[in-house]
Structure 1
């Protein structure tokens, strides 16, 4: 849908159309009216009489072009996809991996690639660049800068490592505990992935609960209810029904549901956006989504990363700056200061369940 094609059966007249769908019938079964008296003609006969073209692949559907009110039928074999069209759909896992491999380079490798590109293309000899007075230096620009020292991070005193100094922007949770572990006493799980069996879902949730406990959270080992397996198209009904079942058991005890763990198919379309919308606007429920591929290939690093996300969502703190505890942050500790932070998130190409969302936050510091 939305792809432009040009026809090849009209000689030099390469008229272009935009596809808005496929016919539900095969080409050999398609007819259309040719006058106001209800006279119809088959697509096969029309192409043979009008263009002298005999359609070979009669069992395939036709492309529908034009508009919904007056669609035109074009057999696929007379169409060619127009070159140079931007692909706006969501990339698959293999394409995303290949894209990240190209873009996530070490600075030295990126510098080398830029220099090779400039020297190989010889931009300084390009006649168009010379015509417009454009000159491209063969060397990278030199800019004065400084490297700020990394801040020391504080973890809970019960861990083997109580604080850490990040190196080249990296650190992990090994031998550490969250400085303030959150509490998850009542939680449930819903499995939307067909290829994940109940046993695999239970095992994954148990491992995740263990990792949250190890990392410093107060996390119950077992869910309030057995994991529910359902289909993505039933997301709203399944979420609300499972939530009501949980609340029926908790309300008499005066307790609330703390967390939903959702297992999603690897290619889940608008399921993620719909689930978040229902949980956050209808139910007021904290949720954590996990893809099916991680259920089958669970690593300690992945579980630790998910545990960090859950802890923040339920009100915990993973780490704090040592300088913040001792009030040694320059300027912020010395004078009243306001700090602004801004971020924006965009939906994936082809994802229509959520808009782009921008947020701005600020915090104040005041001297005692």
Structure 2
């Protein structure tokens, strides 16, 4: 919502119709007609009915915390933390009144609605109006609840504006929190910050990287929410990478260096990217290119009821921007938000005013570029919290911002919130020689003196490699055997085969030949890939996993002759053992009969793939994995219940007919807006499937936990009395003050950060019949972060979730199907 202005809005101008960045709404005529883009003013109301905004509905937060539940733990060492939350002082006597605004005759155009209400702004007082509902802190006088209004240039058209009181709102309601979030956005506009996408950025503080033709814009992510002990503002830093080269310059460069058909190359470089129109700081996702459309084409605009023709070039000439007449035009399809508000036409953008944002794969592979950016993107904790505090104080010191907030009964504190938390003890790991404890959450050095818990023999296997890597293969195999024997995993000599050429067909043909000659009796196939080419990688994985059910291991050529081959080979043999069904290490698990499940979904390519991974051993080191294929429109509930039954059956087979007496289900990848769907659909489906499978025996104790990694909460360890901070150690817990009163939740710092500021992970226990208290649930979540075999340290989420994410991604990008049955009990996707 934008701040009401005192300026009376006239009939829509061409700027309105072009959405402030020349977004032309194209209506394509039949080819027999003379083609002219035409502005689509409004869809027919019956064809596309206008939806009411959710602002002001008074919805209730989903409560997942049982009444009287104590969600604070006790174990570990007490620690003092700062967090990037700032308390808001709320005026206790402030009243929030919600009104419904209607118009007679009805108006679909929201700017017109706002303009008509704005005519009584002086009488209504401070208010927020989004087109339907109106918020104010005053009682609107009776004479202003119904009035007539018209626009100065069309006085013959008169509307009756009706303002009806709905109810008074308590300041603790979510609807009021939503109102405060709107106010904070308005405050950032008053600070002259630019809205790019969802967040506001400071153009004055941008950093230029001329050598890379990039700019880095610093920005701020803000949100206000009712927490355990009050209302708090959360502030985190974000960054936007913007190119200084226009899309037109990029297209021209590609055309000059391309031979033959340049259009597919340009489309690959442009379509799917997000661009910013620099002169007004709006962002759009490019969905196509109109090769036959030029800036010389005209479009029709209507102002004051009079239609006129204007070309794209003429429009920008009035703004002092001269366009090249020969360039094609970019297309941006309407977003879901556009469609909801009736904006259903494509937006047409001249490439000459567009600048791409973000980094492509080529840029990410540029070591120098990433090193230059990392100094700004990966801020140390002290610098990060200082930047956050400076932003909040900048708002406080602005008279415009302060007066606006005070009008709504709100005042910001300029210091970050201090909270009490705990540091959990480090977990012990189970190796073949026994349990081993570590002072830090890193056990890389442990493999020098400890054998893996369970090593599967690698007897009959094959290695495929390009001819150029032939000289290094013997050294690679010797190194693998050298590091593998102390781990209990000797690497015997494999069958060797050269792949020429090392492309998709070359690799698959050689795999087919080896499998045929060995009648499928191969423990593993290892392939040396010349480059990280997804198509070749996918071809290898499909051939091994889908066609033959044989574990495969891919290895990049650049690592064959790497100086760090010893370290790389150690990780390699650990991974290969896990793929064969071995157990590199285990976890001490005091809960008998427990099965832990991780679940995640990968979206892409018009289809979604869900992956479910479940432990089948007491030491949480053996897994069964299955995949759900979710076509558009397919209900997930039935599929997730079927996958759970497969996991239960796998557990029963491995444990001599016994079913788990406890199930802990960790669901990853759930946004705040999806939580209700998960509770009302997925949780119900899981409970139903459990009840059905345990029909003749007692049902197990069941817990479901939402794991959220992408959050804006930051936790800083307080040092001494001078408010210096550093990164907290793995195992740091915060379960009060900044948690939500309606949730059974906590924050955990599961791992250390190599650079920059560490990010905590949010856990929300939405269902729990385990009988375990909050302290045990927190400690067990941290324990599970020690069980991912691709990393000799803790990971950001519980290992079952990390495995599920890995499998879902592999399936969605390469396999596109579930692997053969022999691989489902192995971690073949590592």
Say yes or no: TM over 0.5.
yes
Alignment of 1:175 with 2:465, yes or no, is: no
Mean alpha-carbon deviation: is it higher for 268-277 or for 311-320?
268-277
Give the SS at the match of 1:260.
strand
Going from structure 1 to structure 2, the CA distance change for 1:197 and 1:81 (only over 3 Å counts) comes to farther
Q: How do residues 267-282 of structure 1 correspond to structure 2 at under 5 angstroms? A: 267-282=532-547
Alignment of 1:213 with 2:485, yes or no, is: yes
Q: How do residues 31-46 of structure 1 correspond to structure 2 at under 5 angstroms? A: none
For residue 580 of structure 2, the aligned residue among 314, 317, 322 is 314
Q: CA deviation at 1:309?
A: 0.8
Going from structure 1 to structure 2, the CA distance change for 1:185 and 1:229 (only over 3 Å counts) comes to farther
Q: How do residues 348-363 of structure 1 correspond to structure 2 at under 5 angstroms? A: 357-361=610-614
Q: Corresponding residue for 2:798?
A: none
Going from structure 1 to structure 2, the CA distance change for 1:339 and 1:283 (only over 3 Å counts) comes to closer
Q: How do residues 192-341 of structure 1 correspond to structure 2 at under 5 angstroms? A: 196-220=468-492, 222-232=493-503, 235=504, 237-251=505-519, 256-299=521-564, 300-321=566-587, 323-324=588-589, 329=590, 332-333=591-592, 337=594, 339-341=596-598
Instruction: Provide Cα deviations, 1:190-222, integer angstroms capped at 9, x if missing partner.
Output: 235x8x4311234223322433333211431x2
Q: Corresponding residue for 1:51?
A: none
Going from structure 1 to structure 2, the CA distance change for 1:123 and 1:180 (only over 3 Å counts) comes to same
Alignment of 1:131 with 2:429, yes or no, is: no
Contact (CA 8 Å) 1:261, 1:288: kept in 2 or not?
yes
Q: CA deviation at 1:83?
A: 2.6
Contact (CA 8 Å) 2:465, 2:498: kept in 1 or not?
yes
Q: Give the distance between the partners of 1:285 and 1:166, measured in 2 at CA.
A: 36
Q: CA deviation at 1:226?
A: 3.3
Instruction: Provide Cα deviations, 1:250-308, integer angstroms capped at 9, x if missing partner.
Output: 33xxx711112222234424332332233211222211112222222142221111111
Going from structure 1 to structure 2, the CA distance change for 1:197 and 1:147 (only over 3 Å counts) comes to same
For residue 115 of structure 1, the aligned residue among 361, 364, 386 is 386
Instruction: Provide Cα deviations, 1:19-46, integer angstroms capped at 9, x if missing partner.
Output: xxxxxxxxxxxxxxxxxxxxxxxxxxxx
Instruction: Provide Cα deviations, 1:73-114, integer angstroms capped at 9, x if missing partner.
Output: 8469x9636135344657533256667776667xxx325422
Give the SS at the match of 1:119.
helix
Q: Give the distance between the partners of 1:231 and 1:174, measured in 2 at CA.
A: 35
Q: CA deviation at 1:152?
A: 1.4
Q: Give the distance between the partners of 2:608 and 2:538, measured in 1 at CA.
A: 10
For residue 430 of structure 2, the aligned residue among 140, 154, 157 is 154
Q: Which runs of 5+ in 2 are unaligned?
A: 1-20, 25-251, 268-286, 295-325, 329-349, 617-659, 663-699, 701-830
Q: Give the distance between the partners of 1:248 and 1:165, measured in 2 at CA.
A: 47
Contact (CA 8 Å) 1:155, 1:318: kept in 2 or not?
yes
Q: Which runs of 5+ in 1 are unaligned?
A: 1-13, 18-55
Going from structure 1 to structure 2, the CA distance change for 1:67 and 1:305 (only over 3 Å counts) comes to closer
Q: CA deviation at 1:180?
A: 0.8
Contact (CA 8 Å) 1:152, 1:163: kept in 2 or not?
yes
Q: CA deviation at 1:223?
A: 1.6
Going from structure 1 to structure 2, the CA distance change for 1:231 and 1:97 (only over 3 Å counts) comes to farther
TM-score by length of 2: 0.30
Q: Give the distance between the partners of 1:214 and 1:75, measured in 2 at CA.
A: 64
For residue 417 of structure 2, the aligned residue among 141, 150, 159 is 141
Give the SS at the match of 1:197.
helix
Contact (CA 8 Å) 2:524, 2:551: kept in 1 or not?
yes
Contact (CA 8 Å) 2:449, 2:486: kept in 1 or not?
no
- Between the two proteins, the alignment pairs up a number of residues equal to 287
Q: Give the distance between the partners of 1:356 and 1:81, measured in 2 at CA.
A: 38
Going from structure 1 to structure 2, the CA distance change for 1:337 and 1:102 (only over 3 Å counts) comes to farther
Contact (CA 8 Å) 1:262, 1:288: kept in 2 or not?
yes
Give the SS at the match of 1:226.
strand
Q: Corresponding residue for 2:436?
A: 164
Give the SS at the match of 1:150.
coil
CA RMSD of aligned residues (A): 4.3
Going from structure 1 to structure 2, the CA distance change for 1:224 and 1:15 (only over 3 Å counts) comes to same
